Amino acid sequence: MFIVPMNSIISGSNIGSVAGDLGKTAATADTGAAGDFKAVLQDVIGNVEKTEAATKVDAYNLSIGNMDDMHTMMINSAKADVALQTMVQLRNKVLESYQTVMNTGL
């Protein structure tokens, strides 16, 4: 196992590139908000499907004895849980926003 020092992970150039990406995202947010939302929603759904599939493969491998490291299965299971919770919260916020918009029209 190799431990990466924190000073090599956190560098000024990485932070600057993230800030630059956020600026680009904010600048393009006005041009295609509906398309961006659709892409984000599809990305979240794809992430849930991918993590659920990895969890199923891990469970199968564990059941037939092909898995030596239980921690990988537990990590993939936690990732799938977080992805599903994120999708559910996104759905709840979308429904809440829709209901708010429909109530303001009355």
Domain boundaries, given as residue ranges, for the chain: 33-104
- Neighbouring C-beta atoms of residue 58, cutoff 10 Å: 21
What pLDDT sits at residue 99?
93
Query: CA-to-CA distance for 51 and 45, rounded, in angstroms?
Result: 10
The pLDDT score that the predictor gives to residue 22 is 41
Predicted TM-score (pTM) of the model is: 0.61
Amino acid at 73: M
Taking the C-alpha atoms of residue 58 and residue 70, their distance in angstroms, rounded to an integer, is: 9
pLDDT for residue 35: 75
Total length of the chain: 106
pLDDT in tens, 18-49: 344 444 544 444 556 667 888 988 999 999 99
Torsion of CA 53, 54, 60, 64, to 10 degrees: 160
* Per-residue pLDDT reduced to its tens digit, 60-106: 998 998 888 889 899 999 999 999 999 999 999 999 999 999 998 76
- Beta strands of 15-71 (E only): which ranges? none
